[in-house]
Amino acid sequence: MIRGIHHISMKCDKADDLDRVKLFYCELLGLKVKREWPAGIMLDTGSGLLEIFKSGGNGGVLGTIRHVALASDDVDGDIARVRDAGFEVFKEPNDLVIPSDPPFPVRMAFCFGPLGEQVELFQER
């Protein structure tokens, strides 16, 4: 039986991409390194892992998986740190009620991460 998502894997295109990965996910967003080895790193999101390999990326081509959504307690603060560090924000923080049953109020924003991935910062209200 499936218990949840263990990890999401990404790959770097350039040697210095891993430094930007650590800046973005660890320094700006507060994720912790779970384990690191010569070929990659795993970062703890609190409910799963991001696995990033040092080489073998796809040039930032957007694939079937559109974005990674990270649970946030402060979308506005997180997106401000991301923007101040020079990362592109392409959807500003906004409130939305997802028309589900029951209705689901959220605050969210989107930016591009260090490998060209789309990252959603998502706060349940």
Cα of 37 vs its chain's centroid, Å: 21
Give the pLDDT band (50/70/90) at residue 65: confident
Give the pLDDT band (50/70/90) at residue 12: very high
Q: What is the mean pLDDT of residues 57-73?
A: 84
Q: What is the mean pLDDT of residues 113-123?
A: 95
Give the CB-side neighbour count of residue 111, counting CA atoms within 13 A: 25
Q: Which amino acid is at 44?
A: D
Q: What is the mean pLDDT of residues 12-19?
A: 88
Residue 18 predicted with pLDDT over 90:
yes
In the chain, what are the domain boundaries? 7-124
> What architecture does CATH give domain 7-124?
Roll (3.10)
Residue 16 predicted with pLDDT over 80:
yes
Residue 57 predicted with pLDDT over 80:
no
- In order of 35, 43, 97, 122, the CA distances from 87 in angstroms are 25, 19, 27, 17
pLDDT in tens, 67-109: 999 999 999 999 999 999 999 999 999 999 999 999 999 999 9
Q: What tokens does 72 get?
A: 């946030």
120 in Cβ contact with 110 (< 8 Å): yes
Give the count of beta carbons closer than 10 Å to the beta carbon of residue 9.
Answer: 11
